[in-house]
Amino acid sequence: MPHSVLIVDDEAVIRDVLEEALVQAGFKVFSAASAENAFLVLDKHSVDVVISDEQMPGISGSEMLAIIRRRYPETIRIILTGHATLESTIRAINEGEIYRFFTKPCNIVDLTITIRQALQQRYLEKENERLLHLVNQQALSLKKLEECAPGITHVKRDPSGAVIIDDDC
């Protein structure tokens, strides 16, 4: 199943260009002309990445992404703007915890690569959490085993670290 991307921009031509490029890159793409419409999409569909313009009617992109961060924390957030200011950049980073900040016009190849990198990073973070949980479960099992049969988890090793197996086993 392809990863999904939501493009939020009040300019139809920007949405169309991004949508075409991202569909060709293999993503399932949704689009919205406003934050209000974006929330409707997010309420109905699972979205992996949101790419939002900063300056839109109503609430700004960074404000919208801050709300998305709270409601859908797993969703990767990217800002795309034609009017980057230090204030808007800092707000987007601090409030929306955005993954990346792009200025218009952006390089579509760079945007696509960034989306793929962000998805890979999210996958690795989830896999790390899964493996950490597994290690903790195994450690708990070993602790219980040791309580039931003291010394059973003790392993003898030679100076090189190789396991020593007694001949009488």
Look at residue 92 and tell me whether its pLDDT is greater than 90.
no
Concatenating the DSSP letter of every residue in 35-68 gives HHHHHHHHHHS--SEEEEESS-SSS-HHHHHHHH
Q: What is the mean pLDDT of residues 117-131?
A: 94
Q: What is the mean pLDDT of residues 34-44?
A: 95
How high does pLDDT run on average in the chain?
Answer: 88
Quick one: CA torsion of 142, 147, 150, 151, rounded to 10 degrees? 20
Instruction: Look at residue 95 in the predicted model and tell me its pLDDT.
Output: 63
pLDDT-derived band at 86, boundaries 50, 70, 90: low
- Cross-strand bridge partners of residue 78: 51, 100
Cα 152 to Cα 53, 145, 164: the distances in Å are: 60, 7, 14
Query: Percentages helix, strand, coil for the chain, rounded to the nearest 5?
Result: 50, 15, 35
Q: What is the mean pLDDT of residues 60-87?
A: 86
pLDDT in tens, 138-153: 989 988 888 888 877 7
Question: Which range is least confidently modeled, 3-12, 87-96, 111-120?
Answer: 87-96
Look at residue 169 and tell me whether its pLDDT is greater than 60.
no
Task: Please name each of the domains of the chain with its CATH number.
Answer: 4-125 (3.40.50.2300)
The candidate with the shortest Cα–Cα distance to 22, out of 60, 53, 49, 57, is: 49
Tokens at 11, concatenated? 């300019």
Output the pTM of the full model. Answer: 0.77
Higher pLDDT, 88 or 74: 74
- Of these ranges, 80-84, 92-96, 134-138, the one predicted with the greatest mean pLDDT is 134-138
Handedness of CA 102, 108, 110, 114 (dihedral sign): positive
Would residue 85 be called left, alpha or beta, if left means φ above 0 and alpha means ψ between -120 and 50 degrees?
Answer: beta
Instruction: Look at residue 96 in the predicted model and tell me its pLDDT.
Output: 58
